[in-house]
Copies of this chain bind each other. A is one copy, B any other.
Amino acid sequence: MNFINFVDYAGTFAFAISGIRLASAKKFDWFGAYVVGLVTAIGGGTTRDLLLNVTPFWMQQPSYIIITGIALFVVIIIGKKMSIFNNAFFVFDTIGLGLFVVVGIEKSIEAGFPFWVSIIMGMITGSVGGVIRDMLINEVPLIFRKDIYALACVFGGIVFYLCHKLHFQPEITQLLAAFSVILMRIIAVKYHLSLPALKGGDEMKK
């Protein structure tokens, strides 16, 4: 297992944990929590792969299914003391996000799409899992109201594009793009930055 694999799996684990914990707050049973965890972890990449018309990545090897199972096991064992590890989960989650964005961009370029599509696919890979998670637990998706989660994905995509235009080496490009996502997300969370809420629709019904 190389470094990329490790980051991929750690990110999957952190995404799954976030889904499982939110499901547990809604009194889901073990199986329901597992499904929500899995969807959080693989929902973004699956949406991307359906749009790109390629076989969904998690159907090619069982790692993601297994890692989500481990995540469920960990939540069951550790239970209420989970919050001790919140910082570790945040680190995994954020590094995983950076990687997922880069993977999404590269897979789209390989599939022959232009850069603007690839940047959108990077964002979809990073953020759609959390949106489906929130729909499953019947909440308004968090990323639409707080954080600059999805915007960090787009920012990373633009950095990727610029590095590519400047003929940086592929490895450097990937690293800088992932790092941009991570940095922007950390800054946003640390300084409670968020986009302004939109005004103007209060008085309408449809």
The interface of chain A, by Cβ under 8 A from chain B, is: 18, 20-33, 35-36, 46, 50-51, 53, 55-56, 59, 62, 65, 72, 75-76, 78-80, 82-83, 86, 113, 116-117, 120, 131, 135-146, 148, 150-151, 194-204, 206
A56 CA to B196 CA, complexed, in Å = 31
CB proximity of A17 to chain B, nearest CB, Å:
10
Task: Closest B residue to A49 by CB, please name it.
Answer: B51
Q: Is the CB of A204 within 8 A of B86?
A: yes
Q: Which residue of B has the minimal Cβ distance to A59?
A: B117
Total copies of the chain: 3
Residue pairs across A and B with Cβ atoms less than 8 A apart, 28 shown, are A20-B201, A22-B201, A23-B198, A23-B201, A24-B197, A27-B145, A29-B144, A29-B145, A29-B146, A29-B194, A29-B196, A30-B198, A32-B145, A32-B150, A32-B195, A33-B198, A35-B150, A50-B51, A53-B55, A76-B200, A80-B199, A80-B200, A83-B203, A86-B204, A135-B138, A136-B140, A136-B141, A138-B140
Bound together, the chains give a CA A29 to CA B131 distance in angstroms of 15
Q: How far is the CA of A31 from the CA of B144 in the complex (A)?
A: 7
Distance between Cα atoms of A50 and B55 in the complex (Å): 10
User: How many angstroms from the CA of A33 to the CA of B195 in the assembled complex?
Assistant: 11
Q: B200 to A18, Cβ gap below 8 A?
A: no
Contact assessment for A83 and B22 in the assembled complex, using a CB-CB cutoff below 8 Å: no
B198 engages A24 (CB within 8 Å): yes
Partner of A80, one of B28, B80, B202: B202
